[in-house]
Amino acid sequence: MNDVLLEVKNLRVVFHTYRGIVQALDDVSFTIHRNERVGIIGETGCGKSVTSLAIMRLIEPPGEIVNGEIIFEGKDLVKLNENSLNTIRGKEISMIFQEPLSSLNPVMKVGFQIGESISKVKNISIKASQKFVRDALKAVDLDPERVVNLYPSELSGGMAQRVMISMALSTNPKLMIADEPTSALDVTIQAQIMNLLDELVSKMKNTVILITHDLGVAAQFCDKILIMYAGTIVEFAETKELFENPLHPYTKGLLKAIPKVGNKNKIVGIPGSVPDLVNPPRGCRFHPRCPFAMEICKIEKPTLKTESQDHLVSCHLYR
Amino acid sequence: MILEKVSEFMEKRKPIFEDWKHTFYLWRKTKLATVGTIIVLIFVVVAIIGPLFVPYDPIVQNMKDRLQPPSFQHFFGTDQFGRDIFSRVISGAMIEVEIIIIVSMISGGIGLILGVLAGYFGGVVDEVLMRTTDMFLAFPGLILAMAFAAMLGPSLINTIIAISLVGWTVFARLARAEAMKVKNQPYIESIKALGAGKTRIISLHVTPMCISPVLVQLTLRMGTVILTAASLGFLGLGVRPPLPEWGAMVSDGRSFLVEQWWISTFPGIAIAIVVLGFNLLGDGLRDIMDPRLRR
């Protein structure tokens, strides 16, 4: 069961802006196997969401995929045309967005909107899909009879995210991308939603990419974690391995910055802030903030290398 | 049983009724809108049921009674062919309503479709469509309508076509602006991620959002439509006699204006009142919908 579902190779995405070319993703490569749950973690603006949008091929002008391959079940998504993409989107890969309330059309009833996606995949009318809509809503612990006739403005944030999840999973996609599904929700609802996702995904055996900046959420939910910084991948390892044995200075800094209950010491942050991606630093993009920066870090860009079994890191400290 | 159903129905839609009540209150508070609404309502009612009650046939000529001044037999007098002007003005209302409705549908429809396409696709499509509308907008509206009407030849249908061809640009710009706003909403992105095609997104998710500003603008411009139709009629480029179109009737009485003033005056007053009514209603609606004035 360890076969490859998604392989991203040398992906490079830029945004053409008035200030110059923003290098949002620089040479990103990773592999995701079937039934894995991969967490992508990084600061705001490090390219997490751009990665997920690129996999869905939803990068729109002024953004552009300039280089790279996204191979999903043997098909290169970068080369597919819009029509073949539309047969993959929703059916094979689906996505949950971070703002559940604004991701639903405000003037359409919930039942209709869920029905739309089901009817397209199953090739039936929206009316005929209502039976499946009710099943989908039941699966996310909502009362179908009530919710189908509500407008998005009548839902709470948690309910709206449940609706989004039911939409994304109603077609049983092979890959589901959850782009910060809980960042707009408060902590108790966050826990409920993550538990629900966990339960549904274990039942249906979907592969999941979870995008978050919450290390705790990722640690609980994911099998593997991918750390991104300024449009590059810095570390990729199994969750346990990453938390017990972080290699990259950035990962180490992140883990040190987690507040712990009962800890009296001051929390150590990472000095500096995320670089401007119009003029990213030469060499390793992390070197201006890195406590271990060497001469070579300013000149040469490190590549992602296998350091130990299934533990990839991109840093000149390891070679 | 039925009463229960009704009360349940009312209970469920209580907020909607409350909102309507508030709107009604605002409408009553806005004097101009109230006056405008009453004028327009009278106009529509007259147009629909008026022709059933007119004392004389508006089209048949009656040379015996020509050029009669206003009296109890002929409230507004008769014209040079002996036709009762009161009957003609009442029957003319229906023609104006027809013109308004069809022009609104054609120009609103064309404007909506082209505007949504331009706004949603952007780039080349947008440039081509919007520069075309710029070309239409470069001419004064009445002159362009006259040119179209002269080219097509005078008739009711051609008047409608000419006015529609001039009017759609405003709606296209409105719909375009709205479409550009809607296409960047997160829910459009999320429905793309679910695999929706362009046709579905445009027809089901973008266009409905663009309809309401277009509808509002349509009602605001109805007065202008009447005025343009009447102007074309007056210039002999619009509706042909003997159809009782108000502008053409004003034109009919032109050469008798000094001696028989009533021929031109009554249709002229009708035009003035109805256009005033529509404009008052439009201004009032704008005030009611302006959130800054909503308190």
B187: nearest CB among A88, A105, A120: A105
The DSSP bridge partners found for residue B279 are none
Mean pLDDT of chain A: 86
Please give the pLDDT value at position A158.
86
Please give the pLDDT value at position B294.
54
Chain A residues in contact with B187 by the CB 8 A cut-off are 102-106
Please give the pLDDT value at position B291.
66
- Evaluate whether residue B3 is within a structural domain: no
- Evaluate whether residue B255 is within a structural domain: yes
Residues A151-184: tens digit of each pLDDT? 888 888 888 888 988 888 888 888 999 988 888 7
Residues A174-225: tens digit of each pLDDT? 899 998 888 878 888 888 888 888 888 888 888 999 998 888 888 888 999 9
- Evaluate whether residue B9 is within a structural domain: no
Ranges B61-70, B162-171, B234-243, most confident: B162-171
Asked if the model's pLDDT at residue B115 lies above 90, the reply is yes
Please give the residue of chain B at the shortest CA–CA distance from A113: B191
B2 vs B105 pLDDT, higher one: B105
- Evaluate whether residue B193 is within a structural domain: yes
- Evaluate whether residue B14 is within a structural domain: no
Ramachandran sector of residue A74 (left: φ over 0; alpha: ψ -120 to 50; beta: rest):
left
Average pLDDT over residues B176-198: 88
ipTM here: 0.77
CB pairs A-B closer than 8 Å: 64
CB contact under 8 A, A104 and B187: yes
CB contact under 8 A, A97 and B195: no
CATH number at residue B278: 1.10.3720.10
CB contact under 8 A, B190 and A106: no
- Which domain, by its residues, includes B99? 31-294
Chain A residues in contact with B190 by the CB 8 A cut-off are 95, 97, 103-104, 164
Question: What is the number of helices (H) and of strands (E) in chain A?
Answer: 11, 12
B28 interfaces chain A, CB cutoff of 8 Å: no
- Evaluate whether residue B222 is within a structural domain: yes
CB contact under 8 A, B186 and A99: yes
Interface test with chain A among B188, B192, B194, B202, by most A beta carbons within 10 Å: B194
CB contact under 8 A, B194 and A99: no
Percent of chain A with pLDDT over 90: 5
pLDDT band, very low/low/confident/very high, at A1 (cuts 50, 70, 90): very low
Asked if the model's pLDDT at residue B15 lies above 80, the reply is no
Residues B146-161: tens digit of each pLDDT? 999 999 988 889 999 9
Number of structural domains (chain B) is 1
Which two three-digit tokens encode residue A62? 């002024």
Tell me the C-alpha distance between A65 and B266, whole Å.
69
Strands A20-33 and A4-17: antiparallel
Asked if the model's pLDDT at residue A2 lies above 70, the reply is no
Tell me the C-alpha distance between A121 and A133, whole Å.
13
- Evaluate whether residue B97 is within a structural domain: yes
- Evaluate whether residue B22 is within a structural domain: no
Residues A232-266: tens digit of each pLDDT? 888 899 988 888 888 888 888 888 888 777 777 77
Residues A255-298: tens digit of each pLDDT? 888 877 777 777 777 887 788 888 888 888 888 888 888 888 88
Percent of chain A with pLDDT over 70: 99
Interface test with chain A among B190, B191, B212, by most A beta carbons within 10 Å: B190
